Amino acid sequence: MRKINSAGKRDWKKITGVILFVVLSFSIIYIIIKMINAPSVISEDAYTKVKSDYVLMLLQCVLGIIVMFIPSIVERKLYIDIPNKMEVMYFIFLYCAIYLGEVRNFYYIIPYWDLILHAFSGAMLGALGFSLVSYFNDMEVLETHLSPFFVALFAFCFALASGAVWEIYEFLADSLLGTNMQKFILADGTVLAGHAALRDTMTDLIVDALSALTVTVIGYYYTADSHKP
């Protein structure tokens, strides 16, 4: 029974990974075709996707295909066994963020779609950071025994730092490629300025922090209880 269950888990990870890879691959072909005939300037009458929008989609899809292999690389190089459920959730997040968010335009169609994904990613990164430091903390070879508080603190900082790196990536992409990852241009073409232009970035970081804090606090109490004599 254990072999059947473990095989089933591996199958789910493989199935979600294959679906994500196929969807992103076909999306790249679709985006390149649409980008060829897309206008370069936003229409005054209604919001129409321009070349910069398709450049963003293409960048996200290519990056998505690259980063989807990170868990398997980490497992091979560092000999760390990442739970299959976490990898499945990771693939689902990439599908929701890249395909649904960018290609299917959910960021504009579904209210608060961006915040939902940031809450999900903050919680996921917090759990990942907690799992990684707990793994090394329990290794007898390293002889490190961090308290549950410092394990939780590392997990929180890891999640928040990852969120900050993502915001830097969005800023650089918008600056160098003329994309709209930071959503400083509204669907009707209005360009935000000042405090309104910062709202998306700062809201994302705040949501990342709150979701990561929630997960790490739960992880702290769970770890503290498990280490009680």
pLDDT digits (tens, 9 = 90+) for 104-147: 989 888 989 999 999 999 999 999 888 888 777 766 555 567 78
pLDDT digits (tens, 9 = 90+) for 45-75: 445 778 888 988 999 999 999 999 998 998 8
Q: What is the pTM of this model?
A: 0.84
123 Cβ contact partners less than 8 Å away, ≥ 6 residues apart: 211, 212, 214, 215
Predicted local distance difference test score (pLDDT) of residue 27 = 96
DSSP labels for the chain?
A: -HHHHHHHHHHHHHHHHHHHHHHHHHHHHHHHHHHHH--SS--SSS----HHHHHHHHHHHHHHHHHTTHHHHHHHHH-----HHHHHHHHHHHIIIIIIIIIS-HHHHSTTHHHHHHHHHHHHHHHHHHHHHHHHHT-TTTT----HHHHHHHHHHHHHHHHHHHHHHHHHHHHHH---TT--B-TTSPBP-THHHHHHHHHHHHHHHHHHHHHHHHHHHHHHHHT--
pLDDT digits (tens, 9 = 90+) for 165-224: 999 999 998 898 888 888 887 767 788 888 888 999 999 999 999 999 999 999 888 887
pLDDT grade, residue 3 (50/70/90)? very low
Q: Compute the average pLDDT of residues 8-14.
A: 69
